[in-house]
Amino acid sequence: MKKWTIAALLASTAAFAQTNEAEQPYVYEFTIEKELAATPVKDQAKTGTCWCYAMTSFIESELIRTGKGEHDLSEMFVVRHNYIRRIKDNVLRRGRGNVSPGSIGHMHTWVMKNVGLMPEEAYRGIAYDSEKHNHDELNQWVKAINAKAVEMKKPLPTEIVEGVLDAYLGKVPEKFVYQGKEYTAESFGKSLGLNADDYVEITSFTHHPFYEKVMVEVPDNWDYEKMYNVPLDEFMQIIDHAINTGYTVVWDGDLSEPGYAFQHYVAVNTKEDIRNQKQLLAKAVEIPVTQESRQVYFETFQTVDDHLEHITGIAHDQDGVKYYKTKNSFGTERNGTGYHYLSEEYVKGKTISIVVNKNSIPKSIRRKLGI
């Protein structure tokens, strides 16, 4: 009887240990291989302007890279001019344009080149009672005034557009003082010493010819801008070469995926729904990506353009799998850091385009592109 009791107890203890071990959460662990300087994480809050936060962070890293120091630039100054341009564009298209707040990387460099930039301290872009940005009402007004202009078949008066934007974002100062010097938006942008024409968008799709500038058919490319198209292997080479030679990268891709689990610090190309799991019980199984499967993702709407982030480094997990360390614009509350890691397969499959400094592109690829 005693022997049976001891044996049963040992068996029960072993079973408990196995169950307990099986229920231990799986945690992705990362080792940084290369990491570049970036400014502190910000929170886009309720604005739909990830594109501007990613691009602004990218430009801030460019200023650090070029020895200009750390600057906190105004996202909302650029966002304001995005609204102005697309409101006019939508009316000219008889209401068939896109007046949502989303955009892609080149809109930022357009403002940088044609209007200028401002520091955050000169234009925060909040003219309502809130610590965080909230554009819900602003976006309703933008849609309403657009609809009325289309109905009346008349361009919107500048005073109406500026009035709506002033009410929510605040008036833009004609001049401001920054670090002891007086600037306009134009003179401040020039003082930073960056050339907007140095920044190019790159994509990789087979329904367009490679090594040419093509128009990628996504809603946020509302002004039909063209970008360079390269094969997938060279697309990934461009990202790696940029990071490894000291240049950061802007990523434009898809976050509405089961493998995009910001709270777990990862985005992986998998069919497993890990984004809604409080804890992971095992590592997600990734699906390899080819040029062909990437194209299928795009043409069947499995890859869409709904988010932009800022790639600042390269890492690997405990199994040696490669990832890209990426700065998000969700603040730091969701996962404690504001950063996460996109797997190499995720970037291959779920990227629409990237923005890079053209000088960071391998010379052999630049020659093919003629830049």
Number of domains in the chain: 1
Distance CA 327, CA 329 (A): 7
Question: How confident is the model at residue 2, as a pLDDT?
Answer: 38
> pLDDT tens digits, residue range 301-358?
999 999 999 999 999 999 999 999 999 999 999 999 999 999 999 999 999 999 999 9
Identify whether 196 is part of a domain.
yes
DSSP state letter for 93? T
Distance CA 168, CA 181 (A): 28
In CATH, what number is assigned to the domain containing residue 363? 3.90.70.10
> pLDDT tens digits, residue range 197-227?
999 999 999 999 999 999 999 999 999 999 9
Identify whether 269 is part of a domain.
yes
Identify whether 23 is part of a domain.
no
Distance CA 327, CA 76 (A): 19
Domain of 295, in residue numbers: 30-369
Distance CA 315, CA 295 (A): 26
Which one, of 324, 300, 329, lies nearest residue 313 by Cα? Answer: 324
Reported as type and span, the H/E element at residue 52 is: helix 50-65
Identify whether 17 is part of a domain.
no
pTM of the model: 0.93
Identify whether 133 is part of a domain.
yes
Cβ proximity of 220 and 98 under 8 Å = yes
Question: How confident is the model at residue 23, as a pLDDT?
Answer: 72
Which one, of 345, 353, 326, 352, lies nearest residue 262 by Cα? Answer: 326
Residues of the chain with pLDDT under 70: 1-22
Identify whether 6 is part of a domain.
no
